[in-house]
Structure 1
Amino acid sequence: MAGAAPHVMVLPFPAQGHVTPLMELSHRLVDHGFQVTFVCTEPIHKLLLDALQQNAHSGRGDEALDGIRLVSIPDGLADGDSRRDLGKVLAGVSGRVPAYVEELIRETEASGKRKVQWLVADSTMACCYQAARNLGVRVASVCPASAACLVTSLRIPQLVRDGFFDDKGFPKRHGTLELAPGMPPLCPTQMAWNIDGAPEGRQAAFELVFGMAQVTGLAEIVMCNSFLEAETAAFKLCPNVLPIGPLFADQELQKPVGQFWPEDASCLEWLDAQPQNSVVYVAFGSLTIFDLRQFRELAEGLELTGRPFLWVVRPDFTSGGLSKAWFDEFQTRVAGTGVIVSWCPQQQVLAHPAVACFVSHCGWNSTMEGVRNGVPILCWPYFSDQFANRSYICDIWRTGLGVTQSEDGLVTKEEVKIKLERLTGDKGIAERARVLRDAARKSVNEGGSSYENFKRFVDLLTE
């Protein structure tokens, strides 16, 4: 097979929660002998290289990553546009990136490298599928979110026709709707395209999600980073979407999965010194931003629990103006019990026996990583599909609890303390989390449904 291994181009949407699962998939393809070119927009490419160098994973030059070739394309934004403005990023992706992808495929071939036979692309990048098809490149689609999220996106044209939304994605009806029993109910004001900021940003988000309805027509195979037992109802609704998750790069969790920031691995040694099932792990992904009042309430709530905690506080986690004196004093008070890092190897943390629970924004990657390790989750969703993921965790799987905001929209320190005490003391939640964990592990092991679907994918690529 090595002689004939096809050249696969992998294309994630430019965000951490999309890069990680597609990087995990890429490692698995390399293990099967494929040649993989991993395509990121320039700002993301730079973050990956900087983090890799600082993590000292790669002593083999910048462009290689365990057999994965990293290349970049422009992101379509103008000089001076903020990459934190999701609306601008989305407009750049849908408006300009397809042409850059087409150009890259042509250049790759012209440079004498092996012809790109497959584009394995994020379902959120459906806008690029036709560009690949125009050049005779076959397309495989990977949804890094839940099957429920993908199924909902595929149903958008129908939901617009049925009068739930107008043609710009604004809700026309109140209340919730349910696509099928056993799926998270949809709240029209909490859809994946409901992002803060300028109306044109929201419009770009809606068009991108609306465009995902083309996925099934242009891709030869549609896969999802999920597993059958987690989302039975969603997979029943869309039998042509194949679960291949929960994805992971390697059993030992040693391969780099495309982190945007250098990981502070010293927290693993600290975890080694903590009693089993004692630590509260707190991480809100790569995009969530807390205002100062909320940040303080969370900090003081963690302190109130009296439990050891590991908290990921990105340099850009608060909306500016955090009092250094206050934060230094807080860290002094919790020294010994609380460890604060700017980024960490999350998969290794969640697999650690010292971790008792996970305070999470409910991004799908974090959700799957928590599920795979049987860790109960305290849900604190922020935007997009995170509300539906909370519904899975709290209402359908019942492997976690949600935080409740006070009347002024704040999650108080008392709420943090009470919910963490309830979560860590609930034997039913712990048992259900273990059962779901076992189902997840069974699905990716030999003979499991995700394992078999992945094999189908590999066979298709080698046809």
Structure 2
Amino acid sequence: MANSDRAERGHHSSQKPHAIFIAYPLQGHVIPSVHLAIKLASLGFTITFINTDSIHYQTLKAHGKDATSEDIFTSARNSGLDIRYMTVSDGLPVEFDRSLNHDQFMLSLLHVFSAHVEQVVGKIVKQSNETVTCLIADTFFVWPSKIAKKFGLFHVSFWTEPALIFTLYFHMDLLRKNGHFDCNNVRDDPIDYIPGVHQIHPKDVMSYLQDADTSTVVHQIIFNAFQDVRAADFVLCNTLQDLEPDTIAALRAHLPFYAVGPLFPAGFTKSSVATSLWSESDCTHWLSTKPKSSVLYVSFGSYAHVSKKDLIEIANGLLLSNVNFIWVLRPDIVSSDNVDPLPVGFREAVRECGMIIPWCCQIEVLSDPAVGGFLSHCGWNSILESLWCEVPLLCFPLLTDQFTNRKLVVDDWKVGINLSDHKNITKDDVSRNVNRLMGRKSCLKFVNAIAEVKKLMGGAWTTDGLSQRNMDSFIEGLEHKSRQVKGRITQ
């Protein structure tokens, strides 16, 4: 289907699809959700996007905007996209410290949030001037299929991580049956029986599948979410089919699973849609003073924490390496109670070669010519952005999917290296591997490998690209289901 045909269908169809979209209230999930909402709106959807009150107020405050009169899609609407916006309580006060009180936050999402969602979805369905078609909700929610069914909506599950991680969670029953998860004397030999996965070592599965205690609130969320997703009408995944073909082919035996990544809107390196939860520092002037590919960008994302011991080793290793670096050190990186965990005198020692900031627009930094490497926690958004900007990765996974993402980056695609091959990192590990990543000879090898991946990413959304074709198939499937339902109603 040509792009002009898609636009024609979107702007002139009398049966314009209307999707209610609910993003998981963590920044790493909100970002691709916003990008998917923009993509669908550009293809002719009406989107009603729902953020939590907490995410809404934190985002608008970080960007110096009035949270009572503006929202993150104001400029998108001004450009002609039909994106409406609402907020809903996650069950906790807006000012509640969700980072410091992680389990209470997760318990609220598990037990309380759905009641607020059900109320607002019911109101939208009842008051909307057009028929609402579907509910798009993050796969980690435990309730979407039930709420979608109650209001007669199709359930579209949105998976923000690689297909490999989805299929490992989806096949937890096989991991249990074979003794690799949730049992006494867990096996530590390679896992080679998951459909579409050649082989994976237990140390490379998600941290929650490595835990001995599976009674936590996060495990309850995962178990319930991956029961709920089995009832989804469609699953959209922010990955590339070309990068995970076997895994995706195997998943399609169980679910209508569509790889539609990377979900980057046009011009996203200068995006006017606010998604950052913290005020962003401007690094452009400092970067302009540095030679091409000489700067290491360091960031451990928006959510996971680093131990003070590891953070001190990383700081001392950067000092030893003598490289230029930008280090994003968010205030709660160790804990909300420890706002400056760096070694005494470190800031002064790196004043010439280092820039230490609380937050920045990551894609702007990665796309700057001065940046030649990324020391990353291996969050999926960070990996996709780094690959798009052709910046090789130095991997330091901390939590959840990051261990599995590291395997893809280092072992499968060979576009990065490990910060350390040992459990405990040292400053010497850090210095050696930073210089290895940034060294001219080894860097060239990674740049060549990344160029091949970037070629796949660049082709995914061309007219005949796999992500574009998968999106077309999803929309056609949604329209077909809608016609079937209308046919039954009119009979």
TM, length-normalised to structure 2 = 0.83
Residue 93 of structure 1: CA displacement?
1.9
Segment drifting more, 174-183 vs 429-438: 174-183
Q: Give the equivalent residue in structure 1 for 2:106.
A: 90
- The aligned amino acid for 1:439 is L
What is the number of equivalent residue pairs in this alignment? 453
Shift of 1:356: 0.6
Aligned: 1:402 with 2:407: no
* Match in the other structure for 1:413: 427
Map of 2:386 onto structure 1: 370
Instruction: State how 1:104-143 maps to structure 2 within 5 Å.
Output: 104-112=120-128, 114-143=130-159
Deviation at 1:272, TM superposition (A): 3.1
Q: In structure 1, what is the Cα distance between the partners aligned to 2:73 and 2:365?
A: 26
Match of 1:10, SS?
A: strand
| Shift of residue 153, structure 1, vs aligned partner | 1.4
SS at structure 2 position matched to 1:314: coil
Cα shift at 1:366: 0.9
* Aligned with 2:46 (options 17, 32, 35): 35
Partner of 2:436: 422
Q: Determine if contact 1:363/1:386 at 8 Å carries over to the other structure.
A: yes
1:45 aligns with 2:52: no
Per the alignment, residue 175 of structure 1 pairs with 189
Judging changes above 3 Å, is the alpha-carbon distance between structure 1 residues 189 and 452 closer, same or farther for their aligned structure 2 residues? closer
Q: Which residue of 1 aligns with 2:33?
A: 22
Pick closer, same or farther for the CA change 1:262–1:235 going to 2, 3 Å: same
Q: In the alignment, which of 241, 253, 263 is matched to residue 257 of structure 2?
A: 241
What is the alpha-carbon distance in structure 2 between the residues aligned to residue 231 and residue 223 of structure 1?
14
Contact 1:379 1:401 in 2 (8 A): yes
Tell me the SS of whatever aligns to 1:193: helix
Structure 2: distance between partners of 1:199 and 1:72: 34
**Alpha-carbon contact 1:215-1:222 (below 8 Å) kept:** no
Q: What's the CA shift for 1:306?
A: 1.8
Give the match for residue 240 of structure 2.
227
Tell me how far apart the structure 2 counterparts of residues 144 and 267 of structure 1 sit (CA, whole Å): 28
Unmatched runs of 5 consecutive residues or more in structure 1: none
Paired residue for 1:442? 459
Displacement of 1:199 in angstroms is: 6.0
What CA distance in whole angstroms lies between the structure 2 residues aligned with 1:378 and 1:353?
Answer: 18
Identity %: 28
Q: Is the 8 A contact 1:277 1:353 kept in 2?
A: yes
Cα 1:171–1:14 shift into 2, 3 Å: farther
Task: Identify which of 371, 390, 401 aligns with 1:355.
Answer: 371
State the partner residue of 2:297: 281
C-alpha spacing 1:414/1:181, structure 2 compared with 1 (3 Å): farther
Shift of residue 294 of structure 1? Answer: 2.3
With over 3 angstroms needed to count, the CA separation of the structure-2 counterparts of 1:354 and 1:446, relative to structure 1, is farther
Whether 1:260 aligns to 2:271 is: no
- In the aligned structure 1, how far is the partner of 2:364 from the partner of 2:408? 23
Say yes or no: does 1:454 pair with 2:467: no
Conserved in 1, the CA contact under 8 Å of 2:54 and 2:94? no
Is the CA contact 1:12–1:125 (under 8 Å) kept in the aligned structure 2? no
Is the Cα contact below 8 Å between 2:394 and 2:419 reproduced in 1? Answer: yes
Question: What displacement does 1:216 show?
Answer: 5.2
Is the Cα contact below 8 Å between 2:164 and 2:247 reproduced in 1? yes
Contact kept? 2:25, 2:52, Cα under 8 Å = yes
Alpha-carbon RMSD: 3.0
Q: CA offset at residue 245 of structure 1?
A: 0.6
Cα distance in 1 for partners of 2:275, 2:147 equals 25
Give distance in 2, aligned partners of 1:363 and 1:184: 22
Equivalent in 148, 165, 172 of residue 164 of structure 2: 148
- Matches of 1:338 and 1:251, distance apart in 2: 29
Would you say the 8 A contact 2:17–2:45 is kept in 1?
Answer: yes
Equivalent residue in structure 2 for 1:8, among 2, 19, 26:
19
Matched, 1:61 2:70: yes
What's the secondary structure of 1:280's corresponding residue? strand
- Relative to structure 1, is the Cα distance of residues 444 and 351 closer, same or farther in structure 2, using a 3 angstrom cutoff? farther
The structural deviation recorded for 1:423 is 1.7
Match of 1:388 among 370, 380, 404: 404
1:323-362 alignment to 2 at 5 Å?
329-362=345-378
On the 8 A contact 1:184/1:391 being kept in 2, the answer is no
1:291 pairs with one of 303, 307, 317: 307
Letter in 1 for 2:200: P
Report the Cα distance in structure 1 between the residues aligned to 2:195 and 2:166, rounded to whole angstroms. Answer: 14
Cα deviation for residue 111 of structure 1 reads 4.1
Q: Is this contact kept in 2: 1:376–1:400, CA < 8 A?
A: yes
* Matched position secondary structure for 1:375: coil
- Label 1:371 to 1:180 Cα distance change in 2 as closer, same or farther (>3 A): farther
Q: Supply the distance in 1 between the matched residues of 2:432 and 2:108 (Cα, whole angstroms).
A: 43
230-239 or 431-440, larger mean C-alpha shift: 230-239
Question: What is the distance in 2 between the residues matched to 1:310 and 1:153?
Answer: 35
Which shifted more, 64-73 or 181-190? 181-190
Taking a change above 3 Å as real, the CA distance of residues 444 and 435 of structure 1, as seen in their structure-2 partners, is same
| Equivalent position to 1:187, from 175, 184, 202 | 202
Where 1:303 maps in the other structure, the secondary structure is: helix
1:76 pairs with one of 52, 77, 91: 91
How many Å apart are 1:459 and its aligned residue? Answer: 3.9
Task: Pick which of 61-70 and 79-88 moved more.
Answer: 79-88
Q: Does structure 2 retain, via aligned residues, the 8 Å contact 1:139–1:220?
A: yes
- CA separation in 2, counterparts of 1:49 and 1:233? 41
1: CA distance between counterparts of 2:165 and 2:377? 16
- Worse-matched range after superposition: 154-163 or 115-124: 154-163
**Alignment-derived partner of residue 218 in structure 1:** 231
Question: 1:29–1:323: structure 2 CA closer, same or farther, 3 Å change rule?
Answer: closer
Q: Is the 8 A contact 1:144 1:224 kept in 2?
A: yes
Cα distance per residue 1:32-89 (max 9 Å; x no partner): 23222222233222212222435x9x99724753234332222235899752243333
Offset at residue 418 of structure 1 (A): 0.4
Offset from partner CA, 1:215-271 (integer Å, 9 cap, x none): 55422221211102222231132134211111112234223252211222x212322
1:413 is matched by which residue type in structure 2? K
Letter in 1 for 2:388: R
The CA distance in 2 between the partners of 1:394 and 1:19, in whole Å, is 26
**TM superposition shift of 1:297:** 2.0
Q: Does the CA-based 8 Å contact 1:164-1:188 persist in structure 2?
A: no
